């Protein structure tokens, strides 16, 4: 997307943005060095989450599984039956073109995606914006002068404050959908009484 098209996208009312919730499971907590195991996404068309357009991919790998992979309920057989990283990233880039990336701790997911693309020798991909549901909630709580306690910024804890239902976490697609729901709850609360642009909403949740 050119600079003018990007500018136009960010000037739109936030409901007209091309939002895409993403979740990635890796073989550890190091975005630069731990392998991507699964990648899931779901488009958000406020006020709707486009569940019929979701994606969930397991990356083919012979990695020795860490405790993180066990938590995500993945097995060596799952990874052996997965798709090549190149195919996974090709599918993702098709749906993520000109997207506004939404994730809980979006900086981590974005870095994992950049590392995966670099492994394939692809050009760096940049979305039209990054929205971090974790940072959005952190800033909201601090504005309310609330002291943050350990565990208060987990995806589950953030959702609970908006009355969202419990969910089965540690599965990329479940987490992506849960993040999309949290995004909508945050965005509608933020927009209450006015009509923010995409750019304004992104600023409220910048990583």
Q: Which of left, alpha, beta for 84 (phi over 0: left; psi -120 to 50: alpha)? A: beta
Q: Which two tokens stand for residue 14?
A: 């936030």
In a domain, 2, yes or no: no
In a domain, 11, yes or no: no
Rg (CA), the chain: 17
80 neighbors 56 (Cβ within 8 angstroms): no
Percent of residues, the chain, with pLDDT higher than 70 = 96
Q: Which of 25-29, 42-46, 57-61 has the lowest mean pLDDT?
A: 25-29
Residue range of the domain that includes 147? 20-204
In a domain, 96, yes or no: yes
Question: Which CATH number belongs to the domain containing residue 89 in this structure?
Answer: 3.30.420.10
In a domain, 52, yes or no: yes
Task: Specify the length of the chain in residues.
Answer: 207
In a domain, 6, yes or no: no
Per-residue model confidence (pLDDT) at position 68: 62
Structurally, how many domains does the chain consist of?
Answer: 1
pLDDT in tens, 128-146: 999 999 999 999 998 887 7
In a domain, 90, yes or no: yes
Per-residue model confidence (pLDDT) at position 79: 85
Among candidate residues 116, 51, 54, 127, the one with its CA nearest the CA of residue 90? 116
Asked whether the predicted pLDDT for residue 70 surpasses 60, the reply is no
Per-residue model confidence (pLDDT) at position 66: 67
Instruction: Classify each residue of 153-174 as buried b or exposed e, where b means 16 or more C-beta atoms within 10 Å of its C-beta.
Output: bebeebbeeeebeeeeeebbbe
In a domain, 73, yes or no: yes
In a domain, 1, yes or no: no
CA trace torsion 132, 136, 142, 146 (10° rounding): -100
């Amino acid at each position: 997307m050119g600079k003018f098209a990007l500018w136009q996208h960010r000037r739109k009312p936030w409901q007209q943005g091309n939002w895409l919730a993403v979740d990635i499971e890796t073989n550890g907590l190091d975005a630069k060095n731990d392998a991507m195991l699964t990648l899931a996404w779901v488009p958000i068309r406020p006020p709707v989450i486009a569940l019929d357009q979701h994606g969930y991919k397991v990356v083919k790998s012979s990695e020795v599984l860490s405790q993180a992979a066990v938590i995500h309920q993945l097995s060596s057989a799952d990874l052996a039956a997965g798709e090549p990283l190149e195919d996974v990233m090709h599918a993702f880039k098709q749906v993520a073109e000109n997207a506004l990336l939404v994730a809980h701790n979006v900086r981590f997911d974005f870095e994992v995606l950049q590392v995966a693309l670099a492994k394939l020798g692809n050009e760096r991909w940049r979305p039209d914006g990054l929205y971090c549901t974790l940072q959005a909630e952190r800033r909201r709580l601090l504005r309310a002068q609330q002291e943050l306690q350990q565990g208060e910024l987990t995806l589950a804890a953030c959702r609970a404050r908006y009355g969202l239902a419990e969910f089965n976490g540690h599965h990329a697609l479940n987490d992506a959908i849960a993040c999309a729901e949290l995004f909508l709850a945050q965005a509608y609360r933020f927009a209450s009484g006015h009509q923010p642009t995409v750019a304004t909403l992104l600023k409220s949740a910048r990583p």
